[in-house]
Amino acid sequence: MPPRRLLGLLCTASLLALAPVRGTAPDAGAATTGRYRNLFKEYLGKTDAEIAARLDAAVRPLFAGDPDAERLYYEVPGAMAYVPDVNNHDVRSEGLSYGMMIAVQLDRRAEFDRIWKFARHYLHHDSGPFRGYFAWHAAFDGRRLSNGPAPDGEAWFATALFFAAHRWGSRDGIFDYAAEAQAIIRAMLHKHEEPGRGPVGDMFDRAAKQIVFVPTPPGNGFSDPSYHLPAFTELWARWAADAADRAFLAEVTRTSRELFRRAAHPRTGLMPDYANFDGTPRATPWGGHEHFQYDAWRTLSNPALDWSWWAADKWQVEQSNRVLRFLAAHGDNVPDLFRLDGTPLTTDSFNAPGLLAMAATAALAADRAVGEPWVRKLWDLPMPTGRYRYYNGLLTMLALLEVSGNFRVYAPSAVPAR
């Protein structure tokens, strides 16, 4: 995207945002006030032109960079495109849904539609026990490598589709974005009503009111804190078609905010990859996920984004300060994996871009003195290249949008009360 176009978007966003926000966050949150903080401007004094150029320097390699070292967007026949996990040589619902969210936030409808068409054509189950869900990963040619879904993919798909409907308007078929978002949410909440589904259940535990790790045993008996997205489910509690679903999603949102409190270590603020519904770490036979690992990097962002949009739980400010202070204590060499008590699990992998990016998003809730150094690290962070650019690169791009005030709610009108 040319810097001029990005600058235009930023200027338009500034007009919509009215006055800059002082302090930690607006009282009602940006989703209601329309005032999204731009920490590059607020903390670093960067100009609109500098910020536009910085975002362009990240967007260009992502969508049109060196295909062997930089790019994470590949067009294929049939007006489709995929977002690859380069290291694992597959395509994941996680990455496709992130790609769609990035595209809608950047007003790139053509790329959004191509990624969505790939996901809908190859990963979506039109029949069978998983009907309405998406296979969590496939080969580059679309061949499914596993039928089972990962609920975070559905969550990001649904929210990106809602934003597309409200920003661009829906069309027909799979490009009726609003209808597709509603169908995903309905499948996530009502799979238990379908005959012939076998062991496949909902993506939310009805009693715990929490998103599950996967909707089949044993993974439906626990959760993943990084899948908890109260910033999103707060919107679903307003936009879901069914009144009973809206009421349930309001409870899900409240429970997610409580889960963060229970899952975060009281001293370090670190959360585990997997957690029981009571927030305690969940050990699994495949090992290690009771610790702060790669999924859990996103637990730095999710509470802070929720605070930025909704300002509903002041504890999220304390949490963001706590976890950023813990990471800052490691100086210039931050390990990427920890036990929850802060014991590093690695000695040879420091300053992972994805973790640094997620730390920068936590600055949206943290006090300035705590958050500003991480905002500067993000500003200076080059887009990841090479073998591990998938997860690190997508998290970096999402962080740049969030920290620059360009990760926004697109609503049909003013966000309705609930």
**Closest to 17 in 3D by CA, of 44, 1, 41, 49:** 41
Residue 94 known to be catalytic = yes
Contacts of 124 (CB under 8 A, 6+ apart): 132, 133, 134, 135
**Closest to 237 in 3D by CA, of 32, 29, 34, 418:** 418
Q: Residue 336, class by beta-carbon neighbours within 10 Å (0-12 exposed, 13-18 middle, 19+ buried)?
A: buried
Rounded CA-CA distance 221/219 in Å is 5
Neighbours of 72 (CB within 10 A): 25
Residue 295 known to be catalytic = yes
Contact status, residue 49 vs residue 381, Cβ threshold 8 Å:
no
Rounded CA-CA distance 241/193 in Å is 17
Rounded CA-CA distance 241/10 in Å is 32
Rounded CA-CA distance 25/389 in Å is 32
Q: Which of 42, 94, 152, 205 is catalytic?
A: 94
Q: Which of 295, 313, 336, 402 is catalytic?
A: 295
Q: What is the separation of C-alpha 285 from the centre of its chain, rounded to a whole number of angstroms?
A: 27
* DSSP class per residue in 344-372: BS-SS-BS-HHHHHHHHHHTTTS-HHHHH
Rounded CA-CA distance 65/12 in Å is 27
Rounded CA-CA distance 358/345 in Å is 19
DSSP secondary structure letter of residue 223: B
Rounded CA-CA distance 270/319 in Å is 9
Neighbours of 53 (CB within 10 A): 14
Contacts of 266 (CB under 8 A, 6+ apart): none
* DSSP class per residue in 30-46: HHHH-----HHHHHH--
Catalytically active residues are: 94, 295
